Amino acid sequence: MEYFENALRLEDYRKLRESVGWLNFNEEQTARALCRSLYTILVVSEGQAVGMGRLIGDGVYDTIVDVVVAPDYQKAGIGTQIMNRLLAYIEENTPAGGRTSVQLIAEKGKEGFYKTLGFQEIPNAHCGSGMRKIFRK
Ligand SMILES: CC(C)(COP(=O)(O)OP(=O)(O)OC[C@H]1O[C@@H](n2cnc3c(N)ncnc32)[C@H](O)[C@@H]1OP(=O)(O)O)[C@@H](O)C(=O)NCCC(=O)NCCS
């Protein structure tokens, strides 16, 4: 298993999303989004993309998106490795005296996976609910 930084290409991105039954978005919009990533991880086994994770944000507020491990490779620790690498990037890039808030939206039922990595569910004592609005054209 090999882990590559900032090597995630559109083709692998779309294939990995498909492998877990996620829809793919408009190709041009997706290509632009990938270019704007802060940091990505691509996992390759025997020449095939088997996992990925992506970080977007401005270094004060960062968001983890597109964490996917292809079904045949799940439950072997790859998802945790991807997350640890994304979190290590954030840790390294948070300056002394600084603070970075890292957000993500867990798929239903995947909250436990993120809790073991130190994420807290919201709402909680300090925050209201996470909210989102989607635009479609
Ligand atoms: C969520 C996802 C990324 C996790 O990836 P993964 O590689 O299976 O993750 P890990 O193997 O690191 O951990 C998953 C579970 O397997 C367990 N596990 C890890 N290594 C294991 C091993 N060698 N043997 C058995 N179980 C193991 C972990 O304890 C963890 O348990 P949990 O489900 O109770 O949290 C993956 O299931 C996935 O891509 N799902 C579809 C897309 C998705 O939902 N993405 C998340 C978006 S929010």
11 domain residue, yes or no: yes
The pairing of beta strand 2-5 with beta strand 101-103: unpaired
pLDDT tens, per residue, the chain with 137 residues = 999 999 999 999 999 999 999 999 999 999 999 999 999 999 999 999 999 999 999 999 999 999 999 999 999 999 999 999 999 999 999 999 999 999 999 999 999 999 999 999 999 999 999 999 999 99
Indicate the SS3 state at residue 6: coil
Could you tell me if residue 109 is left (phi over 0), alpha (psi between -120 and 50 degrees) or otherwise beta? Answer: left
Distance CA 96, CA 83 (A): 22
Residue with tokens 């970080």: 55
Say yes or no: CB of residue 119 within 6 Å of ligand 1.
no
133 domain residue, yes or no: no
76 domain residue, yes or no: yes
pLDDT at 109: 95
40 domain residue, yes or no: yes
* Four-residue CA torsion sign, 111, 117, 118, 119: negative
CATH number of the domain residue 38 falls in: 3.40.630.30
What is the Å distance from ligand 1's center to 116 Cα? 11
Residue with tokens 């960062």: 62
64 domain residue, yes or no: yes
Give nearest CA residue, ligand 1 atom 27. Answer: 75
Indicate the SS3 state at residue 86: helix
65 domain residue, yes or no: yes
Domain that residue 64 falls in: 2-106
Q: Which of 3, 43, 54, 74 to mutate to test the pocket of ligand 1 (most atoms within 8 A of CB)?
A: 74
Say yes or no: CB of residue 16 within 6 Å of ligand 1.
no
